[in-house]
């Protein structure tokens, strides 16, 4: 199974908000929060938050394409973040919160472009501003960011911002959830 695994790297605002959605999907092996697309090596969260490094907060998704396709990941991605706001998701503002797909190969680039020009356009009334960029050096976020929602469900940001999104996601995608979700 490990040989057939693929990787997707998506930025849809705060990584805490999108990480728990993808963790619950059948076929997703691992989700890790991190940074990519910037100009310095091994950036810290504090540096990325300044908006001066060029990095985006992203999630790295390792998935089994025999169980879930890249286009299915894109469907979830475009359903549960706003791809029409430039460098912003809710109250999170800055280039680090941009909507971006870092494609790992030409097939992902083709699928991402087609998804934006087709299904995503139908999902949103305003123009899609999601960037499609080639894979760049990826750096895992600090350990306290990993599984943030699962480890801190009662923290106020999690309770008021993330929990409603997770509940909406689980209701909409219940047929595609892992049995333990």
Catalytic positions are: 14
List pLDDT tens digits, range 106-135.
999 999 999 999 999 999 999 999 999 999
Give the mean model confidence (pLDDT) for residues 131-145: 97
**CATH code of the region 2-176:** 3.30.1060.10
List pLDDT tens digits, range 47-103.
999 999 999 999 999 999 999 999 999 999 999 999 999 999 988 999 999 999 999
Contact 11, 57 (CB under 8 A): yes
pLDDT confidence of residue 91: 87
pLDDT higher than threshold 80 for residue 178 = yes
3-state secondary structure the chain: CHHHCEEEEEEECCHHHHHHHHHCECCEEEEEEEEECCCCCCCCHHHHHCCCCCCEEEEEEEECCCCCCHHHHHHHHHHCCCCCCCCEECCEECHHHCEEEEECCHHHHHHHHHHHHCHHHHHCCCCCCCEEEECCCEEECCHHHCCHHHHCCCCHHHHHHHHHHHHHHHHHCHHHECCCC
Percent share of the chain, pLDDT over 90: 94
pLDDT confidence of residue 181: 64
Hey, where are the domains in the chain? 2-176
pLDDT confidence of residue 90: 87
pLDDT confidence of residue 2: 59
User: CA neighbours within 13 Å on the CB side: how many for 10?
Assistant: 27
CA angle at 65 for the pair 165 and 30, rounded to the nearest 5°:
50
First to last CA, the chain: 22
Report the mean per-residue pLDDT for the chain. 95
pLDDT confidence of residue 1: 47
């Amino acid at each position: 199974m490990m040989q057939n695994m693929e990787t997707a790297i998506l930025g849809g605002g705060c990584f805490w908000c999108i990480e728990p959605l993808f963790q619950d999907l059948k076929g997703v092996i691992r989700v890790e929060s991190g940074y990519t697309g910037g100009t310095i090596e091994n950036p810290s969260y504090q540096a990325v938050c300044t908006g001066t490094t060029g990095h985006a907060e992203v999630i790295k998704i390792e998935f089994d394409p025999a169980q879930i396709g890249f286009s299915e990941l894109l469907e979830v991605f475009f359903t549960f973040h706003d791809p029409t706001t430039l460098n912003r998701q809710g109250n999170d503002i800055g280039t680090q919160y941009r909507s971006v797909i870092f494609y790992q190969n030409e097939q992902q680039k083709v699928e991402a472009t087609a998804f934006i020009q087709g299904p995503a356009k139908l999902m949103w009334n305003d123009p899609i501003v999601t960037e499609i960029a080639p894979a760049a050096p990826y750096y895992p976020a600090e350990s306290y960011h990993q599984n943030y929602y699962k480890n801190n469900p009662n923290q106020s940001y999690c309770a008021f911002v993330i929990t409603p999104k997770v509940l909406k996601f689980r209701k909409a995608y219940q047929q595609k959830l892992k049995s333990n979700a």
